[in-house]
Structure 1
Amino acid sequence: MKNCLFLLFVSLMVMLTSVGIAQNSNTAGDAYKVKIGNIGFALDSIDFQLGTVMTGKVFEKEIGVMNLGKKNIGFLNTKQQPYLDVIVMPANLAPGSTGKIIMKFNPDLCYKIGKFDAEVTMQTDDPVNAYKFLYFSAYIVDDTVSKFGYGLIDSVPRLVFDQLNYSFGDLSHAKSMEYNFTFKNLGAEELVIDSLSASKGCKVVAFPKKVYSPGETGSVTIKISTLYSYGVQHRWVKIFSNDPRNPMIILGTHGSVYYKGEKNRDTGFCYE
């Protein structure tokens, strides 16, 4: 009889412990409200604010992450635009484990004063959704007065785009679309566009001219093709110029491609 009571006591303790662990796990998972594939982010939305950022300083932000899946997930590529460094620690997350994203934002490399919007792109080996996209806004403040003329920011050529990333949303398979990126030479010397290159499925259909005077504007029009593509897609164009601070700029586009007539597709592939 004593042995039976002892075994019953042990069984109850094991059950209570298991329930406690499950409750703690759920509570921890609830802190990661933004879920992209099997990765949870400790954010309220995929769009977040950095607030006011002063030039001359590097702004740092940490974002908690959690592997909500049942397999290990590795962060393979976190390379961003020159103004942003992203490190994920640890780079490999076991199921149920947590880590953090360390963002270092340098407003001096944005070459823009005022509201600034940007994208954070991370490539993983998550089988559900390989690419993770987050978006942030900052308000860049500079107390100094430009020495190089109205609207200019330096004495050398400066290639500055209005935006560096574009989301084309959902596109039907085998369809195409065009988008126009605009830029301005914010330097006090002539800007020279040396060359452009594009990834597969992306074509530059309207090239900028070769030379731009200080303060002059221009544009690059690209065409996205979805032939032989399906699911989350990422395209890019590289611009090479004589801008000494930023000799290569990458323009990125992304979206989701589905087959025509597909009934059960996930239209919110990034859970936006």
Structure 2
Amino acid sequence: MIGDLLFDTGKIEWGEVHLGGNYENSVKVHNPTRKDISMKIFTRLSELHMAKFGRDSIGCINKEIVLPALTCDSLRFIFMPRDTSLIGNYSKGIFLEIDGEVYMKPIEMQADVLESFDSLTSKELLSTPMIDIEKDTFSFGTISLNEKVTIPVRITNKGKRNLIIRKVETDCTCTAVMMGDRIVENHDSVILKIIFKPMGRSGRQYKTIKLYCNDPHRPMIKLIIHGDIED
């Protein structure tokens, strides 16, 4: 619930999407009161458009819209990622003004944005970069609370064009990554260093690192590190 309005969800999960695509999703909103309620949706995100609300169409973001008393409607959004800077985990919030009051509880938008390769011809697909990683799961064994571990991961380009590592993300502040050159020439290799610090954690640990690149066959790779931390 935000203000006097009821929303069926506070989060839109887009899942895996590709640059250049258009993706639609919706949130149902109910006005349970006996008065009309005005609402504004605030965002400066150029990749997000509001498709429909009642009789309104695209262009309703940042404009006042009204939900009549005792009615239900849907906020329909179109997600249109275009910029390569959006590649990776996309997590943004849309804020609402309801009857003149701005609420800091947003509707969250989440997606995994991948590069698109739809424009490549069959001939071009034969001469693309090809990422190769020795394995995708690494164990750091058993460590103490004040230990730090560094896991080197060799990344090789077995393709015919330069491999570009667009982004590397971790799922926890206890895990960091270091990498030199993010452009890997064909038949060359680089080392990705995964650095894990317990930071007060104990017991069994599993952490995920996501690597995004321009290999059409593997645009996103998940690496898992795991181990135990002794008290």
State the TM-score bracket (shorter-chain normalisation).
Answer: 0.3 to 0.5
Which has the higher relative contact order, 1 or 2, with Cα contacts under 8 A spaced 6 or more apart? 2
What TM-score comes out, normalization by structure 2 length?
0.44
Whichever of the two has the greater Rg, that structure is: 1
